[in-house]
Structure 1
Amino acid sequence: MSYAIIGFGKIGQALAHAFARKNIDVTVASRRPPEALEPQARAIGPTVVARSLQKALEADTIMLAVPFEQHREVAKILPSWKDKTVIDAMNSQAPLVEMDGLLSSAFAAKAFIGARFVKAFNHLIAATLATDPVVEGGHRVVFLSSDAEDATAPVAALARQLGFAPVKLGKLDEGGALVHARGHVWGPFIFQDLFKKET
């Protein structure tokens, strides 16, 4: 399984730190050329490699950490997203009226035709996401939601591999609503730094 993080701002770099802690290879890319990202990627760890957007999108699992309004630009790069898992770590402050009344992930998913689309890793601020998720005998919780039945299991497995405790919330318009940013209204789990104790 290959992984890529698209977007290398605070959230993208926080996710890269999570991969580096576990020595898991991950490609990072943004609208900037890879050579502009290389110094920061190298500083995070040897398993974090900067590549072009086109090359990064060859990965099996794509983590979207771009500003929400840029997701359609990313979606247009590939003619088909079939067999790809897309993890939506974005949040939107756009009003619902601008998203056809849909929650942000449901709206974004329409651009990634054929992809297995999962909302995850979006409810924590970057500074928290970048730190070790293993704390005092517990694991920091990551919430997952998706309309694709087979999509959450591999993302949950990745979350565990990175040291998090995945909690499935159901579909995007059900449990997923708990972790969505909608306009200036935040889902009740946004910014909640929760831990799951090992049993």
Structure 2
Amino acid sequence: MHFGTIGAGAIGQAIAGHLVAAGHRVVLSNSRGPASLSGVVARLGPSATAGTVAEAAAADVVFLAVRWSDIPAALAELPAWNGRILVDTTNQMTGVTPADLVDLGADTGSEFVARHAPGARVVKAFNTLFVEHIAPDPRHPEGRRLLFYAGDDAAAKADFHAVADEIGFAPVDVGALRDGGRLMQVGGPLSALHALKQG
């Protein structure tokens, strides 16, 4: 399974680091182009490469890790998704205060993302964790870091679960994009819940 990131900030780099440590190849991308990521991929190691957004989006599993306002542009004019998995790590926030929460009405953030990536099998994950809880080894003496995820495609969720488990997290399926997404989005009961699973 090959992986890509659309966005290579702190969250994209943290996830890529875990995947590389597990022996996977990852193509990182951002809006500034591959040359801007030379230092990042050098630090991550030879299994990480820099590519265009289209090259990263061609991977089997793609992590969307851009600012909320950049989502439409980041997903525009990409090749057909054809059922590849898009893991949405974003939150519908334009800043860091409660006033910056974007009101989508009845929709969740990942339903918004899915509309901008037709044909992708969208899984929501990582958005409930602060980056300082994503980047370090999720395995602790007290247990493994819980990682909530949601999605509408059972096979995509099973694939994501296997990857999350492999890189050390304790994945927990919280349901469909709409119901699970509401639990996970900012203001929901799982948002910013940083907990460990014992055993």
TM > 0.5: yes
What amino acid is aligned across from residue 147 of structure 1 in structure 2?
D
User: Contact 1:64–1:88 (CA<8 Å) still a contact in 2?
Assistant: yes
Is 1:180 paired with 2:176? no
Q: Distance in 1 between matches of 2:183 and 2:106?
A: 16
Residue of structure 2 equivalent to 1:3: 3
SS in 1 for 2:168: coil
Residue-by-residue CA offset, 1:87-125 (whole Å, 9 max, x unaligned): 0001112432xx353111111111111111000111111
What amino acid is aligned across from residue 46 of structure 2 in structure 1?
P
1:150-169 mapped onto 2 (5 Å cutoff) = 150-169=155-174
User: Contact 1:14–1:127 (CA<8 Å) still a contact in 2?
Assistant: no
When residues 33 and 7 of structure 1 are mapped into structure 2, their CA distance, relative to the original with a 3 A threshold, is same
Q: Distance in 1 between matches of 2:115 and 2:170?
A: 28
User: Contact 2:41–2:49 (CA<8 Å) still a contact in 1?
Assistant: yes
Is 1:82 paired with 2:87? no
2:116 to 100, 111, 121: 111
Q: What is the CA-CA distance between 1:29 and the residue it aligns to?
A: 0.3
**Percent of matched pairs sharing the same residue:** 33
2:153 to 148, 155, 164: 148
Q: Distance in 2 between matches of 1:89 and 1:107?
A: 13
What amino acid is aligned across from residue 192 of structure 2 in structure 1?
F
CA RMSD of aligned residues (A): 1.5
User: Contact 1:86–1:115 (CA<8 Å) still a contact in 2?
Assistant: yes
Residue of structure 2 equivalent to 1:189: 190
Q: Distance in 2 between matches of 1:45 and 1:128?
A: 22
**Displacement over 3 Å in runs of 4+:** none
Q: Distance in 2 between matches of 1:26 and 1:187?
A: 31
Q: Distance in 1 between matches of 2:48 and 2:142?
A: 27
Q: What is the CA-CA distance between 1:173 and the residue it aligns to?
A: 2.0
- Number of residue-to-residue matches in the alignment: 192
What amino acid is aligned across from residue 196 of structure 2 in structure 1?
F
Question: Where in structure 1 are there 5+ consecutive unaligned residues?
Answer: none
Q: What is the CA-CA distance between 1:45 and the residue it aligns to?
A: 2.6
